[in-house]
Amino acid sequence: MERIEEVLSNFRNPPPGYGIIHWWILSGEVYERRISEELDEIRNLGISSVLIAAGHGVNPRYLSEEWFKMIKFAVREARARNMLVWLADEGGYPSGFAGDVFKLKYPDLRMKALIIGEKINVQGGQKVDFLVPEKTIGALAVNTANGNSMPLDISSGRINWVAPEGHWQIWLVQQSFCTSPTRYVHHPTGAKDTTFPLCDYLNPKAVSVFLSEVHEKYKRYIGSEFGRVVLGFFGDEPDYSIPGIPWTENIFEEFKKIKGYDVQPFIPLFFSKVIPEEAVRAKADYWDVWSKIFSETFFRLQFEWCEKNNLLYTVHLNHEDDMRLLIRSEGDFFRCMRYVHVPAIDVIWRQIWMDKTADFPKLASSVAHIYGRRFVLSESFAVYGTGLSLEQAKWVIDHQFVRGINLILTSIFMPKHLNNPQSIYFNKLIQYAKRASFLLCLGQPSAQIALYYPTRELWMGNDDADKKVWSIVRQLLENQRDFDFVDEESLLAVLKIEGGALRNLSGQVYKTIIIPPINVLSRKLLERLKDFARSGGQVIFLGFKSPMIIDDSFMRVESRKEDFNWFICLPDEEINSHLLEILPEPDVSLDRFLPMVKYLHSRWHDIDIYFFFNEGEEKIRCKATVEGKGSVQIWDAELGQNISLEGRQIASNKVNFLLELEPYETKFILVGPSMPKAESQRTLLEPLGTLLDLSEDWTIEIDGKKYTSSNLKYWSELGYPSYSGAVIYRKEFRLPLKEIPEDTRIFLECKNVYYSARAWLNNIYLGERAWRPFRWDLTKALRPNVNFLEIEVRNTPAAAFAGDPATLEKLKEESKRGGYLAIFLKFDIEMLPSGLLPPVKIVVYREIRE
C-alpha cells in the first residue's frame, strides 16, 4: 500500500501521464530536428504526455513508410525525455477512414446508409406504373402541402399507384454508400466533405481492415513501446452525420433475429414528417439494433485489439453537449463508451463557459465509474478563440474536473506558433492541472445517487425527456448532491445488488436511483428495479405517470396493469426540499444554499478527498460539514503545499470546518486519521478597510513609449487597440505605516485586470497572478516613506488578431463565408478590451490564525 507521504510527494511533483496531454499536430514538413525541438519545448512547459496526430499537408505522407519511421523516431525521443505518447488513430477526423484507404483500396467496405435516392413528382389523379430501381427497399408517397405520407407497395418490384387529390412526391428509399463528412490531412483544399469516405462502422470486416491499415502498422514499427512509452490510441468523434439511416448488408436479418419481425416495411415511414405510432416503435427498435451493432463492432473490436496489445483505447463521440443529436448520430452514448478504456468528451466552441449550464462531462465520468476506469479525458478548447485567457482556461478545466474529468487534451499551450503574451504563465496552469489531475485520479468515487438516463425515450422521439433529465442534473449539483448517470444495460448486467445498494466496477455503491419522467420502461429493467427495492435500495420516480411496459421489442406492449407500490413516487418533475430530505445522507453540507459551489468526493483508503470549486464571481465563506474523520488539510494544487485547517469532529464520521473560496477558486480538502505533517497552518484574513485608492495618476509604458494618465483606461483608449503584449504601470505612493494596527497585513488589490499581472514594490518581486484574486502581499516590502509600485499587465493575442478596426472589418467580411472564423471571431472580439482598470487599492487585513 502506498503511504500518504508518498502520495503527497507525487502530488507536489506528479509523475508523467497526468494533467495536460499536448495535442501534437504535425503539419507541413516534419523532420527529426523539428521533432526534437518541439518535444523540448513541450517538456520545458511541464507537459509530459503528447498525442501525436497528422496535420494538414504533412510530409512524410500519413501512413507511408516514411511516416512510421518518423513516428518511431518521435517515440524514441519522447522516451529519452521521460514522456508518454498517445497516437491519433486517423489522419484527420472522424475516425475510421484510414486516410484514403477505403476510397482507393476497399470501396465495397465504405459506410452505408438508407437514403431518399429519388423523388418523383406526381399530380393528383395521375397514375404511375414503373419498375423500382435496384437497391430500393421501400417507397413513400408524400403530400407536399401537408407532409402526410403513405407507404407504397413494392413487393412485386413495381410501383403501380394512382395519386389522390393534391400534389405528391414518391420518395424511393434506397441502399447507398453514404459517408459522414471527413477532413483528411491530404485533402487538396483541407475541406471537410465526403471525398474520403469512412469505413462501414457496422461491418466487422471493414473495422478489421481499419485496424490492419492503421493499428497493425504502428505495431510493426513501435510495438515494442506499447504499454511503456506508448499508452494507447485516440479516436475522434465517429458518427453517422448522414442524410439517412445507418445501414449495413445483414442488418435486416440481424434485426429480425433480435426483434422477431421484419422491419423493412416500416423503413420508408422513418423518413416521414409525421410518423405513425407503430412506425415510431419500429424506429425505436431499429435504433436499438443498429446502436448495439455499432457498439459491438466498431468500438469493441478496437477495445479488444488495444487490450490484446497492452494499450488503452480512448475516444469521444459527437454532440455530447446535446444528447438529442448524439442519439441520432451514434445511437446510444453508454453503449459506445462501454468498450472504451478512457471515456472521453469533446469541448469546443465555448460549449462550456461562464454563462452556460453545461454538465455533460458527467456522462463520461459516470461511464468511467460504472466500468472501473481510472482516467476520463476531455478534448478541450478547439475553436475557443485566440484570445482565451488563462483564467478562462482554468475555469473551463475546473468546471470539468469537478464533474469527474481528470485528463485534458489540448494544443493551446504552444507559444511559439501563437506569440501569446500569456505564455510566460503557461507553466503555472500546467503544474496546477497536473497536481489536480493526480489527486482526481486517486481513490474510489463516492456519489451515492444514480440517475437513470432514458435513452429509450429519445429513440421514441421524446426529446423533452432529455431536457427534463438535465434540469434534474442541474438541481442536484446546485444542492451539492453528487450522482452518476446509469443506463439500462449497466443496471441489468454490470451493477450488482448488494445489501440495499448497487455496486459498480469501481467498488462505489449507489443507495438510491432516480428515474426521471419517462413514458416507456422495459420489463427487464422494471424487474431489476423491483429487486433493488426489495433488497432495501431506494427507487424514486419523478413526475411519475404509469409508463408503457415493453419486452425486448417496442412493438410488444404489455396490457396487464402493473403494481407500482414498491417505489417512491413524486409528482414533481424536479428536485424539491422533500426529495432532498429523503435522499441518502449527504457527504457534503453547506450552511446555506450556494448553487455556485460544486464538489467531487473520492475515498483513498481511510482518507476522504474533496475537490471544491466556486464557479461564481463572488467570494464565499461558509460552514461546511463533510463525511470523514481525523485531521483536515488543504492540498494547494497551485503551490504544491499541504496546509493544516481547523476542523471539528461533530459525529463519528462527520467533520465541520470553515470553507473559504475566492471567485473561481478551487480547493482540495483532505480528511483522514493519518495525514502527513502540514507545511503550515491556514491563515484567515479579516478585511479592515481600504488604506489608499491608487486608481489615478499612473505612468504607463506601452510599446516602448511612456505616458502619464490621470486615470486608468483600456489600451484602445490610449491609441493601442491592436497591441498584444506587456504594459508597465508605475506609481509612487506614501503610506502612513504608524497609523496601521499591529498584527495586520497590507495587500495590493486590483479588481479589473485584463488578463494577467505581476508586481514589484520597491524593486522587490511580489509574484504573478494569471487568474483571480489579483492580490499581492505588500507587508514586508513596504517602506515608511515613499514606495515605488510597478505592475506589468499582459493581454491576449486577440488584440493583435482583431483589434485594428480596419483588420476587424476585413475579418468580419471573411467570416461571412463560413468556417471556423465565423465562430471564433465573435469570441476574440469579446477579448479585445485590455489593460488595468479601477479600482486599484491598498487594503488592510487582520490576520487570524486557526
What pLDDT is stored for residue 739 in this prediction? Answer: 75
pLDDT band of residue 741 (cuts 50, 70, 90) is confident
Q: Say if residue 737's pLDDT is above 80.
A: no
Q: Tell me 29's DSSP state.
A: B
How far, in Å, CA of 847 to CA of 160, rounded?
A: 91
pLDDT band of residue 481 (cuts 50, 70, 90) is very high
Asked if 479 and 580 touch (Cβ cutoff 8 Å), the reply is yes
Domains of the chain plus CATH, in order, are 112-177 (no CATH), 449-582 (3.40.50), 588-681 (2.60.40.1180), 687-795+834-849 (2.60.120.260)
Say what percent of the chain tops pLDDT 70: 99
| Stretch 169-194: mean pLDDT | 97
Q: What is the pLDDT of residues 245-271, one digit of tens each?
A: 999 999 999 999 999 999 999 999 999
How far, in Å, CA of 396 to CA of 391, rounded?
A: 9
What pLDDT is stored for residue 546 in this prediction? Answer: 82
Q: Please name the residues in contact with 521: beta carbons below 8 A apart, sequence gap of 6 or more.
A: 547, 548, 549, 550
Q: What is the pLDDT of residues 59-109, one digit of tens each?
A: 999 999 999 999 999 999 999 999 999 999 999 999 999 999 999 999 999
What pLDDT is stored for residue 1 in this prediction? Answer: 61
What pLDDT is stored for residue 374 in this prediction? Answer: 98
Cell of 459: 429513440
Q: Please name the residues in contact with 24: beta carbons below 8 A apart, sequence gap of 6 or more.
A: 38, 42, 50, 51, 52, 53, 411
pLDDT band of residue 743 (cuts 50, 70, 90) is confident
Give SS3 for 117.
strand
Give SS3 for 170.
strand
What pLDDT is stored for residue 688 in this prediction? Answer: 93
Q: Say if residue 848's pLDDT is above 90.
A: no
The sign of the CA dihedral 281, 282, 288, 294 is negative
Q: What is the pLDDT of residues 809-836, one digit of tens each?
A: 999 999 998 888 989 999 999 999 999 9
| Stretch 534-556: mean pLDDT | 94
Q: Say if residue 850's pLDDT is above 90.
A: no
- Comparing 466-475, 682-691, 754-763, the range with the smallest average pLDDT is 682-691
Q: Angle at CA 453, nearest 5°, toward 447 and 459?
A: 170
| Stretch 298-308: mean pLDDT | 99
Residue 416 one-letter amino acid: K
What pLDDT is stored for residue 710 in this prediction? Answer: 85
| Stretch 395-418: mean pLDDT | 90
* pTM of structure: 0.97
What pLDDT is stored for residue 307 in this prediction? Answer: 98
Q: What is the pLDDT of residues 312-368, one digit of tens each?
A: 999 999 999 999 999 999 999 999 999 999 999 999 999 999 999 999 999 999 999
What pLDDT is stored for residue 809 in this prediction? Answer: 96
Proportion of the chain in helix, strand, coil states, percent, rounded to 5 = 30, 35, 35
What pLDDT is stored for residue 738 in this prediction? Answer: 77
What pLDDT is stored for residue 774 in this prediction? Answer: 98
Q: What is the pLDDT of residues 434-446, one digit of tens each?
A: 999 999 999 999 9
